[in-house]
Structure 1
């Protein structure tokens, strides 16, 4: 019951606001002729304005009541004004609601005051402007503003709402014109009302186009790269239903614009009446569908966005992936053939209209060609999928998980895949595939993390790999996946060097917790958007000379918005810690060092030393630069890369370049993808 009330409150206030805004925009557009103010349909429409403004206010009160109940988790608070007041005074949602309610009140007062004055064209413009304010304020409570309260995030949605109002809100006025022309008499009145409809039709076309463009922008922000959710989540299903209704509306609008409306100007009472009847009928259907569209949009605005949806059970045995299939034999030829056939299908629509094909032919030919084009182009892009394909990891991608995964890999996987995951243990049986190379081969296009989870759970048919559902917990399997991702990213990190690639962050730094000898502690993410981090993995006393250099330059490095964290690669005795502390005037990690060392060891390789044999070497001294957005940008391995950052001018040059960069990618997520 509460959900129904909530949906009705949101829908009623939005519908009333859109109609009020769109009607005023429409009246302003056609308001050049003074006869407009004498028309009976205008008076009827204006009498509804105060009621619609009142509906906006009542709907907002209902929204506040429902929001209070949802925010507090107490159903009784839906009916408690004192609880409403608490929300209004202490939450951002409450502040936005106050702004919306105040703007709606101004709208109601403006309508009541100006309705008493002699009607002028600018009255409608003023009402439209004032009616736009509650709509714009409402976007501050949308999904677009939930992730990021910025102009770039909110503006496309605000423009989308206003465009929707300019189209949808004008439909009641159009219906009133059509029904009034049926009851009124006189050729002159018919010509005037026809001109009104044509003006609206001319404006409606670009409005609908811009509405579609801004809708795509908003949808892309709420979906991002998770387009698979459009066919497997409530948000996606609602969006598809909304777009389907919109497609029907566009067909009706096209028929009205290019078929029935031009006939209103033709001579002949019978022809004029027939066209008017068609317009009344179909514009009425369009308005009904538009109301349903607004209802779906309201529900959609309060549904978890696609990019935040967890698809726990992918319902299809396949998925489409260009990255995984594009280089397979004949895929490109099939896809391009399908695209050409689809373009031919579109061209037959124009041919059918030009050559006056009968209705059945005009529908069947493009439809059959379009279906055939998809049957040719889509199957080559399909790859196998599992129920877990789009499952998201429940364990963060951090040093603790990576280290636990490396232990599980050594216990369960290294016998076949080798200690470094390169798949070096061939299988004698020719019918059984050799172990997969998990280190140097890219698998991310074909295998999502959910796919890997499925294979770890159930095993791989045709190989010696068993399923681990009975022997490894779900968390252990995610740890193992995090290790495999770190293994692969570590191999990619061989392309890093002691010089950054400007504005090209690619590899996320493994996150870790630490405690240092100076009493400081925290998480690597604590430095995000604030400081770069120079992570120094050292051995003692071999790194003593380097510590003297770092200590001497520490103030210079700090001035470049960078913190040093020194991490030992083995346990240090109390005496050794005291020796280190005498030199180091920067934090030296004493808790969490083992996990940091083991996870960052995977990022040790350089291009000239791939280090693929056996268990792998462990350089005695490595340094990594993580930028303030959480990306691994440069690395110096003293054993393999010579003098490197011992020249502090070379090091400080890299830090200056990082500090000059704006955010070009969002900080990496907490989970592997």
Structure 2
């Protein structure tokens, strides 16, 4: 169904583009083949004469306008067929209800009204000789081109307004360029008896229009890709991204042909114009443009790369500074040697370019050697990758997911990796690979865990580890369970650094796992929704303390609650029933899972790890990062003052939009 919808979009776009091109072309022509006047006083006369010159295009424009208008009904049916389940038949009544009752249908009505207005104006040109009608037809024609995008992703209410506007600008500029190019090449290939200077002047004026259109296409295309692709890897890991990459290749073909035509215009002999050569190169540019249009029609109706969940990375490697040079490789390692080769080749390319004795070869030698330098640099930045490397998780990074992953880890992984993931489990000393070589299980709390993507870890859980020792857990854990384990491993990898958290603020490196909050009004149903102001997340077990310790804990919780309130911070509390209700703030829906998750990072030097948190207070900044921790609050330790100062400092920091799976 996607293919048929894309084909209809192509058939909608092309007639409209050619019609607008045929309207635009006469306005770039000289009257009777003579150079156009340059004075403002005679400009109106030239435009009127150009309108008369366009008389031979009037019937074609009217026919193309009608084709576009009536093809819109086929688009409506194809769109409805894609949205409705296959078992539901689409009759006139169903189609009418869909058109009137949905935002997609209402957008279609608006575009059809504009299309029929354009067709009506195009027909009126057959009977009325008016400059106003000519200009109105051209303006409405460009509007028809812009609104073609409304039948695709531009109608998505979830997109920012500037992205939606970029769609309109992108299609209007791109299709105006393509339609004008078709008209120009048709004129060139049929230009028998035309003066060379008239052809050159037309080509030069068209070149200016094309340059403006391409700049608009590039700017708006970047804005669209920024929102719909999401990341550079998605260009290869998703169907949308791969098609967009192919579209960029065709765009390079368009620009190369345009460059050849522009060079010809600047170097042609005076009084000559090679119509055949110009037309043939223009045909090549047009074919590339039609390929662009066909791909654009298809990617406009498929899932954007940033929303795609089925990612497939086709290469056995990926580029990563963190996983290569970021690990400070040893001198004379392969990473180091490839880096040296890249630097040496880059210096050689520069010397060949600037040395007078080698300048005769620089046009070819410098690009070749510079390309080799880029390849060497890429190799030095390469690390192993898998088909799942850029997979998107099916489970959000939440405390509930971490707790589930924690349980799976304890059941299946502690034998090798140890209870705390440090690679010291009871089976660790006897593990051997297929060659009989002893293999030490990975320390999952070490910083090197951050050099892998979460998709890498998912691949190892699914197919087995790199060393050949870790088995596949595909049978024991379904897809969601594996992503739960990965969310736990993300927390675990932070645990070593988390030991040193204190009331002093740390850099933004540890993202707080989200969790659901009890909120009848649904104003802040999760921790993540509290972003915008710092949050104090407090844990306490009041029933575990007695006597003087119980009184101290109660005082600590009271000070924490009042200090957070006075500082203007949110307060989220995970307390047991023995704690005073006066000290409680926002409460989680699943307190046990939240406690289990945060116990992973509630570590202290030289102290045993516990899954239960007696008392701890984490300060989360307005963007969602854990920045500090208090063990307790006391009247005489200035902890309340420290919290107030910390909240004030964090409140002044800019709000950062974070991905909850950033690692």
Superposition TM-score, scaled by structure 1 size: 0.79
* Mapped contact 1:520–1:587 kept (Cα < 8 A): no
Residues 440-492 of structure 1, C-alpha deviations (whole Å, 9 max, x = no match): 423222x2222222333444465764443454444443322211101123445
**Distance across 1 between alignment mates of 2:53 and 2:366:** 42
Residues 505-561 of structure 1, C-alpha deviations (whole Å, 9 max, x = no match): 553321224559x9999842573568765322112145322444466678767xx4x
Which residue does 2:377 correspond to in 1?
Answer: 377
* Mapped contact 1:24–1:125 kept (Cα < 8 A): no
* Mapped contact 2:13–2:175 kept (Cα < 8 A): no
Which residue does 2:609 correspond to in 1?
Answer: 615
Write the mapping of 1:132-531 to structure 2, written as runs, cut at 5 A.
132-140=142-150, 142-143=152-153, 146=156, 148-182=158-192, 184=193, 189-225=195-231, 227-259=232-264, 262-263=267-268, 266-267=270-271, 272=273, 275-311=274-310, 313-326=312-325, 327-328=328-329, 329-337=336-344, 369=369, 372-424=372-424, 427=429, 431-445=437-451, 447-460=452-465, 462=467, 465-493=470-498, 498=503, 506-513=509-516, 523-524=525-526, 527-528=529-530
Q: Sort the Cα spacing of 1:641 and 1:598 in 2 relative to 1 into closer, same or farther, 3 A.
A: farther
* Mapped contact 2:559–2:634 kept (Cα < 8 A): no
Residues 631-673 of structure 1, C-alpha deviations (whole Å, 9 max, x = no match): 44554332799846534xx54565566666664314x34x576
Could you tell which deviates more after superposition, 63-72 or 308-317?
308-317
* Mapped contact 2:540–2:613 kept (Cα < 8 A): no
Give the paired residue count. Answer: 626
Could you tell which deviates more after superposition, 397-406 or 19-28?
19-28
**Cα-Cα RMSD:** 4.2
Gaps of 5+ in 1: none
Query: 1:46 aligns to what SS in structure 2?
Result: helix
Q: Sort the Cα spacing of 1:291 and 1:22 in 2 relative to 1 into closer, same or farther, 3 A.
A: same
* Mapped contact 1:77–1:84 kept (Cα < 8 A): no
Query: 1:535 aligns to what SS in structure 2?
Result: strand
Write the mapping of 1:653-672 to structure 2, written as runs, cut at 5 A.
663-666=655-658, 668-669=659-660
Residues 140-196 of structure 1, C-alpha deviations (whole Å, 9 max, x = no match): 5544663743333233333332331342121133124324531x36xxx44333212
Q: Sort the Cα spacing of 1:641 and 1:614 in 2 relative to 1 into closer, same or farther, 3 A.
A: farther
Q: Sort the Cα spacing of 1:464 and 1:49 in 2 relative to 1 into closer, same or farther, 3 A.
A: closer
Q: 1:95 aligns with which of 106, 126, 132?
A: 106
Query: 1:290 aligns to what SS in structure 2?
Result: helix
Q: 2:93 aligns with which of 72, 82, 88?
A: 82
Counterpart check, 1:598 vs 2:596: yes
**Distance across 2 between alignment mates of 1:657 and 1:45:** 68
Query: 1:169 aligns to what SS in structure 2?
Result: helix
**Distance across 2 between alignment mates of 1:62 and 1:642:** 77
Q: 1:638 aligns with which of 618, 632, 639?
A: 632
Query: 2:75 aligns to what SS in structure 1?
Result: helix
Q: Sort the Cα spacing of 1:449 and 1:467 in 2 relative to 1 into closer, same or farther, 3 A.
A: same
**Distance across 1 between alignment mates of 2:512 and 2:324:** 30
Query: 1:408 aligns to what SS in structure 2?
Result: helix
Deviation of 1:50 after TM superposition, in Å, equals: 2.4
Q: 1:57 aligns with which of 63, 66, 69?
A: 69
Could you tell which deviates more after superposition, 149-158 or 546-555?
546-555
**Distance across 1 between alignment mates of 2:654 and 2:104:** 31
* Mapped contact 1:513–1:592 kept (Cα < 8 A): yes
* Mapped contact 2:564–2:643 kept (Cα < 8 A): no
* Mapped contact 1:535–1:623 kept (Cα < 8 A): yes
Counterpart check, 1:46 vs 2:58: yes
Deviation of 1:499 after TM superposition, in Å, equals: 6.6
Query: 1:177 aligns to what SS in structure 2?
Result: helix
**Distance across 2 between alignment mates of 1:567 and 1:519:** 20
Gaps of 5+ in 2: 31-35, 38-44, 330-335, 543-549
**Distance across 2 between alignment mates of 1:132 and 1:658:** 49
* Mapped contact 2:563–2:643 kept (Cα < 8 A): no
* Mapped contact 1:22–1:128 kept (Cα < 8 A): no
* Mapped contact 1:341–1:373 kept (Cα < 8 A): no
